[in-house]
Amino acid sequence: MAHLAEHGAIAAGHELTARAAVETLHAGGNAVDAAIAAAAMACVVEPVLAGPLGGGFAVVQRDARAEPVFCDFFSQTPKRRNPRARVEAAEADFGDATQIFHIGPGTVATPGVIPGFAELHRRHGRLPWAELFAPAAEVAERGHAVSHFQAGLLRIIEPIVTHTESVRALFAPSGRLLEAGETLRNPGQARFWRLMATSGLEAYLNEVGSLLLAEAGPDAGGHLRADDLADYRVHWRAPLHAVLHAAEAEAWLNPLPAASGVLIALALDWLERHGEEAMAADAACEGSAVCARAQALDFADARRRAADHDLTKLLADLPASWRGTTHISVVDAHGMVCSMTVSNGEGNGRMLGDFGFMPNNMLGEEDVNPAGALHFREDVRLSSMMSPVLARRRDGARFALGSGGSNRIRSALLLVLARLLHDMAALEKAVRAPRLHVEEGFLDVEPGLPPSDVTALKKAFPRHRFWSRPSMFFGGVHAVMLGADGRLEAVGDFRREGVGVVV
């Protein structure tokens, strides 16, 4: 197999996820092949963050001259609501904050991951379909050591991963949750990826689909029916193109119906128009760029709530030229870039037969379905906060990045983009810098900011919480850079045990 030495870069949320992409590039695959192989591996080694019955997005740019395109394979609401659907609450404990998630058969939306992989491969793949899933099947079969981050994540959402006997059998086989260093074996998921390799979409719709309907159909307390699976479609969309004139930069963001791109674009545009005055000595921020960025996030969040989550109303606030919850970023030897974000929510608390993974709980995610699991609009794409991003800086450097992190995704990406494009920061510095998030006027802040920024933030946001340590609560941005001189960099976010590899 040809070795593409120093001609590719990968950033992902786990060493084995990144390794699957590396092996794919070494075998002659391109960035899309590598991203698919890595995402399949993420379902094995990041099993709460990613799953074969979740949803996602990918943005692909063939080379520096090509127009980026967005592939939307996110979850769809069922065609018909079941008024007797069963939904249960589970509380996740992040340490300095808690968050309520909803699980159960009534929270499962129509999944899109496997149809999305198939469509991405049809349009852009190079290697045979079956080769992309071999690394995931092998690791699932032999087992892998649970990482410190994954062990911590299991503890955070313990009520979900111990909710039923079938889930406990995987994550707590001895009666307690698996700990870091212990081996997680998942022969059921190995069988799934081998089935996908040999039979693809036909097996997904038939064998896997029949199990999903048994677990999340009306008779089981869910909403899904056979036509939901049969009629699901992957959509190719033009990205939301943000042109930052002051920074001489541009970014390509997730378009409607996703929420993330519009909200990030609103915050970027606010910084373009008001950033300097927000930092003025007589303003609340008193020279703090971090504070100005917090105000930009607050503005976008307030506009969303004023529009009652109708994101089409927010497009009118953008310049006309802009209209248009693990992550994997890959650039290959030919300059093709693929940025892919996938999510399973947190899982619905029940295993799908003996396949070794949970269906999604997207209908129970407030940030993508504010109406709740019993009152959603039927047969529409859920409005995700996920946004794989491509960006170009004035020095010619190209970036691919994205993040997990529920409704904190927009804050994580806005801050990293601002540091990369406005501050011209190095990639690692931009990813590692302290983060903040603003929701309904309430400010959350990681430690590590200079005292002057802390003072300005406290003055501008009287309702605040300053965290004692960095946290996965603030997302996990995994990013790669292709410099104008061909130099490659890759950075995985330490908040989520991310890995960056240049090969």
- Which residues is 466 bridged to in the sheet? 445
Residue 177 vs residues 41, 71, 174, 182, 183: alpha-carbon distances, Å: 21, 36, 8, 10, 12
Query: Cβ(370)–Cβ(71) under 8 Å?
Result: no
Instruction: Please state whether beta strands 249-253 and 464-466 pair in parallel, antiparallel, or not at all (unpaired).
Output: unpaired
d(CA 124, CA 362): 28
Grouping H, G, I as helix, E, B as strand and the rest as coil, residue 173 is coil
CB contact set of 168 (below 8 Å; sequence gap of 6+): 161, 162
Residue 100 vs residues 12, 103, 397, 476: alpha-carbon distances, Å: 27, 10, 40, 20
d(CA 89, CA 86): 10
Residue 20 vs residues 15, 35, 364, 481: alpha-carbon distances, Å: 9, 9, 31, 19
Residue (of 261, 254, 297) closest to 411 by Cα position: 297
Alpha helices in 279-389 (DSSP H): 289-306
Buried b (16+ CB within 10 A) or exposed e, 217-226: bbebbbbbbe
Residue (of 435, 480, 430, 189) closest to 328 by Cα position: 480
- Which residues is 58 bridged to in the sheet? 71, 340
Residue (of 112, 110, 135, 109) closest to 35 by Cα position: 135
Secondary structure (DSSP) of 454-483: HHHHHHH-SSEEE-SS--GGG-EEEEEEE-
Burial of 20 (0-12, 13-18, 19+ CB in 10 A): buried
Q: Is 17 labeled as catalytic in the residue annotation?
A: no
Of 17, 107, 325, 326, which one is the catalytic site residue?
325
Q: Tell me the catalytic residues.
A: 325
